[in-house]
Structure 1
Amino acid sequence: MCRRVLPLVFRGGGAPRRGAADDRAPAGGVTLMLTPWNFPAAMITRKLAPALAAGCTALVEPAEDSPLTALHLAALMSRAGLPEGVVSVLTTDRPAELVEVALHDSRVRKVAFTGSTQMGLYLLRQTAERIVNTSLELGGNAPFIVLDDADLDDAVEGALVAKMRNDGQACTAANRFLVQESVASDFAARLSARMAALRMGPGASDSTELGPLVNGRRRDEIAANVSAAVEQGAAVQLGGEVPECPGFFYPATVLTDVPRDSTLGAQEIFGPVASIIPVEHDDDAVAVANDSELGLAAYVSSGDLACGLAVGERLEVGMMGLNRGLVSDPAAPFGG
């Protein structure tokens, strides 16, 4: 099942070696860390630093789509002098089986997971049987609310950051653009023009602004969801078709008049698709925004800060960006 195990061994000031456990290694219990592919270094280090500071060892299982970053980080920590057995990296394409084995080991005292809600529910069921301390950061379906008093140029720039960071493959990415009806057409036209200008190409190119998706399965799921939304009444303002070129590419896409009960409005897109849903007023926007089980992040664009803050306080989310498209900040908590 596990394709590679990399124990870290470092004794005293000498060279790395393999052998008996180092008596300097922490003994606060083992933390099982399950990390996603989209930010492979940040997701590991964000979990690993507090675990090591608390005196815990760690077993890291990176996503099967991005194992090399984890292995490289482990090698760097070994060179830096981390004692034997403190951090181990296991790569596998069968994570559920790995988790089942690990959670039947009494030494595992903590599970830290970032990923899909479906996998999070599975982990909760598994950890509940042993009452293992668990931290989950699951999927997002972030609303981006544009009120009629917003500066639309600023709103579009914020929307571009919130939507297109990592090609939309981020848990904090804006999914549902809830735009007041009086400015919905204007906003859609400006956002479409801005997204149409993005240069699509391979990630290794300096000129690329929109790279490929992580794999063919993700591309096909996005294409199917867009097609379903169109069948339900959404209109394609930009993109909407898989390009005829090698690679797992999907174009920057803007859909207008997206039905509120469509698949695009109900689940995480994880791709470069902006779904615009017209709303009547701020109360309507808040109601639609909160009609979701995924409450990680939200965005509000308004020309009136007091009004924008008032709307933000009514949103059932963990993070809110007001007139900005990036919610992560070193000085602020992260989570939903």
Structure 2
Amino acid sequence: MKGKHFINGQWIESGDGVIDVYNPANGELVGTVPNGGEEEATRAIEAAAAAFPEWSAKTVYERAEILMKWHDLLLEHKEDLGKTLTTEMGKPLKEAIGEIQYSASFISWFAEEAKRSYGRLVPASAPDKRIQVLKQPVGVVVSITPWNFPAAMIARKMAPALAAGCTFVSKPAEQTPLTAVRLFELAEEAGVPKGVINLVTGDAKGIGGVFTSHPSVRKLTFTGSTEVGKILMKQGADRMLNLSLELGGQAPMIVLDDADIDKAVEGVVASKFRNAGQTCVCGNRIFVQRSILETFTEKLKEATTKLKVGNGLTEDVNIGPLIDKDGYEKVQRHVNDAVEKGATVLTGGEGQVNGDAYFFQPTVLANANTDMLVMNEETFGPVAPIMVFDEDHEAVRLANDTRFGLAAYFFTENLSRGNAIMEGLDYGIIGWNDGAPSVAQAPFGGMKESGLGREGGVEGLEAFLETKYVSIKM
């Protein structure tokens, strides 16, 4: 597949050569996109700025109609989109198709939610005054998205931006730009007007620099590492750039002694091993109460050994490849470090390298402790370390002992204990007996160094709206 930039309604090729896109399951070349930079980013922003007045002036019903056409096209082409996604990213095809459906859910949600972006009238302090509060679109929005969810992260940002009346420029990850190209092709087919959406592929540093410095940009939305998020904050500080940042995680999973153990195992597997553990909200540290440690550990081991590793296009595969050599080496380093510091490998623990393809067996580690890298850094791989605890307050303390605060999970059938745990956890997303809590209608985002702002839900639309207060003297 040969991708192109999409700027001002035109598919173009320009930049410093091309970026090759490889299938992480076998190392095969699957496509190319232009290696654009500052010039392409500038052109895209200027196109979005020129299109903003007309797009923002459309009624919300007109914008919603176009969004729903885009939604329908995604679902109509979900199998083909899923294959493109799996081919460039590696996740199992069933998961990839699920991601396309998840992406479409954001589009339909925000197409409807935009119709409820109400302003309000406020009682005035004098009889000859009227106070009005308006909600208006922010303006030109730029977006930088990661490789692990190449469809969902674009839809979760672009849908509310368009629904609010903003225009949009997208920069997808270099590893997975082909899915983005297909999404934009379908958006064009749905009738999004010229210049309203723009796609630029290429050099992250050059494009990111323009995104944070161009005077027409009113908002940047980014999903990725905390380290890069901090760089973008610094770059945008001089302009007081409006930012939404969904950053790294270090998700704890707490299993209390009154949990339904089968339900807990199911939840841990769903969270930990989804996308080969390459998600920002996957469980990274598993804390199990002592009295159920042996039973839970044995059942998790049993469930994990049933997971099959391989090419995501193979029907019965549960775990695809890691994205690249760096990701593989980090996972192996975490496992080796854990073993050196006393962990026991109950299953997995080994990787397999086939040329430029990197796989890692789903792994369960017993006897984890807080000195291990796997308990302090985001592994981004299929490794489940288990650490024992005795008291509820100890589990909450261990869970909160991190600079991150994106997602956390716990398992208990006791309402009182659950409420205490839930209220004590310093995380933006909580899964109570639920290993997969993410949905379009709920706010997604973190605390502490896991980011700023929320995506999804009512809050996801608010992120692209400005509040204007008007005082009228009669």
Q: Shared fold (TM-score greater than 0.5)? A: yes
Q: In structure 2, do the counterparts of structure 1 residues 32 and 331 end up closer, same or farther at CA, with 3 Å as the change threshold?
A: closer
RCO (CA 8 Å, sep 6+): is it higher in 1 or 2? 2
Structure-2 separation of matches of 1:177 and 1:306: 21
SS across alignment from 2:408: strand
Residue in structure 2 matched with residue 239 of structure 1 by the alignment: 348
1:310 and 2:420 aligned: yes
Q: How does 1:161-200 map to 2 (within 5 A)?
A: 161-200=270-309
The alpha-carbon deviation at position 46 of structure 1 amounts to 0.9
1:297 and 2:407 aligned: yes
Q: How does 1:96-107 map to 2 (within 5 A)?
A: 96-107=205-216
SS across alignment from 2:404: coil
**CA deviation digits over 1:109-167, x for unaligned, max 9?**
10000111111111111111210000000011110001112121121111111111112
1:9 and 2:12 aligned: no
1:38 and 2:171 aligned: no
Identify the structure with the greater helix proportion.
Answer: 2
Q: 1:322 aligned to 420, 432, 441, which one?
A: 432
The alpha-carbon deviation at position 237 of structure 1 amounts to 1.1
Using the size of structure 2 for normalisation, the TM-score is 0.66
Q: In structure 2, do the counterparts of structure 1 residues 9 and 249 end up closer, same or farther at CA, with 3 Å as the change threshold?
A: same
CA contact (8 A) 1:141 1:267 kept: yes
Structure-1 separation of matches of 2:201 and 2:293: 46
The alpha-carbon deviation at position 25 of structure 1 amounts to 4.2
**CA deviation digits over 1:25-53, x for unaligned, max 9?**
44853211001111111110110111112
Using the size of structure 1 for normalisation, the TM-score is 0.92
Q: How does 1:1-336 map to 2 (within 5 A)?
A: 4-9=4-9, 24-26=54-56, 29-92=139-202, 94-243=203-352, 245=354, 247-336=357-446
SS across alignment from 1:320: strand
- Greater C-alpha Rg: 2
Structure-2 separation of matches of 1:230 and 1:72: 43
CA contact (8 A) 1:253 1:274 kept: yes
Structure-1 separation of matches of 2:55 and 2:193: 6
**CA deviation digits over 1:88-120, x for unaligned, max 9?**
11111x312211123221001100001111111
Structure-2 separation of matches of 1:84 and 1:261: 54
The alpha-carbon deviation at position 261 of structure 1 amounts to 2.8
The alpha-carbon deviation at position 294 of structure 1 amounts to 1.0
The alpha-carbon deviation at position 244 of structure 1 amounts to 5.5
Letter in 1 for 2:363: T
Structure-2 separation of matches of 1:244 and 1:57: 43
Structure-2 separation of matches of 1:25 and 1:297: 35
Provide structure 1 residue ranges, at least 5 long, that are not aligned to the other structure.
11-19
Letter in 1 for 2:397: A
CA contact (8 A) 1:25 1:84 kept: no
SS across alignment from 1:75: helix
CA contact (8 A) 1:237 1:255 kept: yes
CA contact (8 A) 2:253 2:408 kept: yes
Letter in 2 for 1:42: A
Q: In structure 2, do the counterparts of structure 1 residues 324 and 34 end up closer, same or farther at CA, with 3 Å as the change threshold?
A: same
The alpha-carbon deviation at position 85 of structure 1 amounts to 1.2
Say what the alpha-carbon RMSD is for the aligned residues.
1.8
CA contact (8 A) 1:243 1:250 kept: yes
The alpha-carbon deviation at position 87 of structure 1 amounts to 1.0
CA contact (8 A) 1:103 1:127 kept: yes
Q: In structure 2, do the counterparts of structure 1 residues 9 and 243 end up closer, same or farther at CA, with 3 Å as the change threshold?
A: closer
Structure-2 separation of matches of 1:175 and 1:306: 25
